């Protein structure tokens, strides 16, 4: 292969490494991690808010029911109390009624406690729903901001990638297809570097030095390869 082609191959290697780096950068933007976290939290809070709202509805229903029951209990208690105070019944009936009134009073007190508990719980749930909503709004703004930043950064990286791809397309026709295949094979095996220049008797791929005899051997083979790392060696 001509020297010009080897120079192009080295250029191709440079461009490919730039493309590799850009692709790596594209997938490893710090904002991507933050975006993922924000997205997860948004999902969590959406569930938390919906839960609180649902529980609030249930509590409101319980409140309604308990209030209704309390109203009935109060009416019944008043009626029985009046019956008791109006007198005119046997001692045994009066005694029975007194116990009934006591029981109704105790039931009413229990319902009042329950009502109080439900009202407190309702307040807590309202606060929880409100807090989740506020946090959700804040996080959604942050998530959208991150998405915009990522899009901007991707746009810049993609433009850069397009430039490198164009340069690569320019270089490829001037290099032997077989050489490109060998280069790609070595690149895949050796951390993205398939070709290296020999400088001061040192292989630019593995950074090991070659003796004069080894260099001569390398030069004789087509294409020249580093005896240590087997990469294509531009001598």
Report the run of H or E that residue 233 belongs to, with start and end. Answer: strand 232-234
* Beta strands 232-234 and 195-199, pairing class: parallel
Q: Which is nearer to Zn ion, 35 or 183 (CB)?
A: 183
Exposed, middle or buried, 13 (CB in 10 Å: 0-12/13-18/19+)? buried
Omega of the bond prior to 223 within 30 degrees of 0, cis?
yes
Q: How far is the CB of 21 from Zn ion (least distance, A)?
A: 21
Q: Which of 12, 146, 205, 218 binds Zn ion (CB under 5 A)?
A: 205
Q: How far is the CB of 229 from Zn ion (least distance, A)?
A: 3
Q: How far is the CB of 205 from Zn ion (least distance, A)?
A: 4
Q: How far is the CB of 212 from Zn ion (least distance, A)?
A: 16
For residue 2, report the phi and psi dihedrals to the nearest 5 degrees.
-75, 160
Give the binding range for Zn ion (CB under 5 A) out of 40-48, 56-64, 86-94, 219-227: 219-227
Please tell me what DSSP assigns to residue 234.
Answer: E
Decide if residue 228 touches Zn ion (CB under 5 A): yes
Q: Which of the residues 174 through 203 are near Zn ion (CB under 5 A)?
A: 203
- Residues of the shown chain interacting with Zn ion in the complex, contacts defined by CB under 5 A: 203, 205-206, 226, 228-229
């Amino acid at each position: 292969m001509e020297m010009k082609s080897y120079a192009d191959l080295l250029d191709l290697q440079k461009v490919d490494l730039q493309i590799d780096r850009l692709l790596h950068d594209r997938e490893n933007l710090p904002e991507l991690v933050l975006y993922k976290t924000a997205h997860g939290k948004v999902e969590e809070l959406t569930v938390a808010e919906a839960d609180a709202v649902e529980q609030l509805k249930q509590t409101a229903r319980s409140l309604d029911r308990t209030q209704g029951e309390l109203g009935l209990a109060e009416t019944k208690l008043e009626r029985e109390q009046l019956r008791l105070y109006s007198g005119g019944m046997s001692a045994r009936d009066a005694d029975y009624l007194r116990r009934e009134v006591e029981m109704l009073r105790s039931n009413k007190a229990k319902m009042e406690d329950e009502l109080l508990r439900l009202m407190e719980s309702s307040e807590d749930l309202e606060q929880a729903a409100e807090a989740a909503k506020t946090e959700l709004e804040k996080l959604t703004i942050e998530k959208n901001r991150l998405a915009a930043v990522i899009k901007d950064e991707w746009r810049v990286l993609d433009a850069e990638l397009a430039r490198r791809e164009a340069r690569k397309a320019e270089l490829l026709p001037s290099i032997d297809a077989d050489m490109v295949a060998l280069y790609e094979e070595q690149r895949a095996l050796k951390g993205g570097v398939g070709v290296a220049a020999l400088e001061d008797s040192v292989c630019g791929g593995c950074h090991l030095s070659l003796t004069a005899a080894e260099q001569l051997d390398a030069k004789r083979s087509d294409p020249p390869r580093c005896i240590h790392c087997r990469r294509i060696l531009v001598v």
